[in-house]
């Protein structure tokens, strides 16, 4: 428990300090976020945010890594091969986002040269990381909800790699889509990471019930570090944001959430834990589907992702953010409730 608290505390303080330093560094150099205007069918009502320091996700990833490493400095917690692979995956995805952020700033346009190709590149990266995870660690090759044997559908390694790769790719993109309002992505991710911390710690303390999970404490420490880092970053990212997360933060956070679900055997539960991200990404898919089906003439929403739709209906940005946070909190609470109910039932079955 002490390692978890250390990771979360260092992540929190590190993100607070890191975000403040980035605001000063990027602000002095005029490195700010470009916003899509009317000519690109973008959120024209957000043009006032243009020039806000960006790439704040560097503070989140850096602080989370610092929290993770600091927790391991304490005796009793060893580094794991699984943790190494997960961190390489997170940093790799964040690096892809950073490259796109740098290109956007240099072009002065909110679409880097990879804005079309990035989806394919991150998808290939996701499949590669999923393959590495399954061949190098003892991760369960099942489709799981709350544990490896619930429902416990065993699938061939090749199919699991495709399944896990799609989860990584979809989650990174869903968080990226959600990152359109100040603090929305960071706040909802903080809740999900907090839930994963609780889940991982329960798995660690009840290892006899969850023998298929490898290194649950290591994953719990990582989740706590990210929860703290997201919380610290929110201090400066809350509306009106003084710094924007950027793709470096969104892709890194999305990868971390996906890896936690895969390593803790809660892949299907991720849909609830990241409910607001599913809602946001789904709105984009539905909007595109309706638009194409109508011969590019009709749209279901005034603008996608759906948070922009509510803004154009007249909701103030802060109202949209808080109400979406409430939806995220309800989804996370439901997911935790389901997991704990299953844990209680399992414990009673084993030790009646």
pTM (2 d.p.): 0.93
Which tens digits make up the pLDDT trace of 276-311?
A: 999 999 999 998 888 888 877 788 888 879 988 888
C-alpha 334/C-alpha 342 separation (Å) is: 12
How remote is the C-alpha of 211 from its chain's centroid? 26
Which value, to the nearest 10 degrees, does the dihedral of the CA atoms of residues 66, 172, 36, 48 take?
A: -40
pLDDT band at 32 (very low <50, low <70, confident <90, very high): low
**Among 12-21, 66-75, 331-340, which stretch is predicted with the lowest mean pLDDT?**
66-75
Residue 41: per-residue pLDDT: 47
* Structural domain range at position 205: 2-350
Number of domains in the chain: 1
| Cis geometry, peptide bond prior to residue 151 (ω within 30 degrees of 0) | yes
- pLDDT exceeds cutoff 90 at 107: no
Which tens digits make up the pLDDT trace of 232-255?
A: 999 999 989 899 999 999 999 999
pLDDT band at 350 (very low <50, low <70, confident <90, very high): low
pLDDT: which is higher, 211 or 55? 55
Give the DSSP H/E element, type plus range, for residue 8: helix 2-28
Q: Give mean pLDDT, residues 142-171.
A: 92
C-alpha 191/C-alpha 9 separation (Å) is: 16
| Cis geometry, peptide bond prior to residue 81 (ω within 30 degrees of 0) | no
DSSP 228-251: HHHHHHHHHHSSSPSS--HHHHHH
């Amino acid at each position: 428990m002490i390692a978890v608290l250390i990771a979360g505390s260092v992540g929190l303080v590190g993100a607070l300090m890191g975000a403040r330093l980035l605001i000063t560094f990027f602000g002095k150099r005029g490195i700010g976020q470009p916003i899509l205007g009317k000519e690109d069918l973008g959120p024209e009502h957000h043009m006032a945010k243009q020039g806000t320091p960006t790439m704040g996700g560097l503070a989140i990833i850096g602080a989370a890594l610092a929290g993770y490493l600091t927790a391991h400095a304490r005796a009793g917690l060893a580094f794991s091969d699984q943790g190494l692979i997960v961190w390489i995956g997170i940093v790799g995805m964040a690096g892809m986002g950073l490259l796109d952020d740098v290109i956007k700033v240099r072009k002065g346009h909110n679409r880097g040269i990879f804005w079309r190709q990035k989806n394919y590149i991150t998808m290939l990266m996701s499949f590669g990381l999923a393959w590495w995870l399954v061949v190098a660690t003892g991760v369960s090759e099942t489709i799981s909800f709350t544990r490896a044997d619930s429902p416990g559908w065993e699938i061939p390694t090749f199919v699991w790699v495709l399944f896990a790769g799609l989860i990584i790719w979809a989650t990174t993109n869903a968080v990226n889509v959600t990152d359109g309002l100040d603090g929305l992505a960071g706040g909802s991710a903080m809740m999900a990471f907090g839930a994963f911390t609780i889940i991982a710690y329960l798995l660690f303390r009840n290892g006899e019930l969850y023998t298929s999970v490898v290194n649950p404490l290591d994953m719990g420490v990582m989740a706590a570090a990210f929860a703290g880092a997201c919380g610290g970053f929110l201090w400066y990212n809350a509306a009106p944001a003084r710094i924007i997360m950027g793709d470096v933060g969104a892709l890194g956070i999305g990868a971390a959430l996906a890896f936690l679900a895969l390593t803790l055997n809660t892949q299907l539960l991720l849909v609830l834990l990241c409910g607001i991200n599913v809602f946001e990404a789904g709105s984009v898919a539905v909007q595109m589907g309706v638009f194409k089906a109508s011969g590019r003439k009709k749209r279901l929403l005034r603008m996608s992702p759906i948070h922009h739709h509510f803004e154009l209906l007249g909701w103030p940005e802060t109202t949209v953010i808080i109400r979406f946070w409430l939806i995220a909190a309800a989804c996370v609470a439901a997911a935790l409730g389901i997991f704990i109910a299953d844990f209680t039932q399992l414990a009673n079955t084993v030790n009646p």
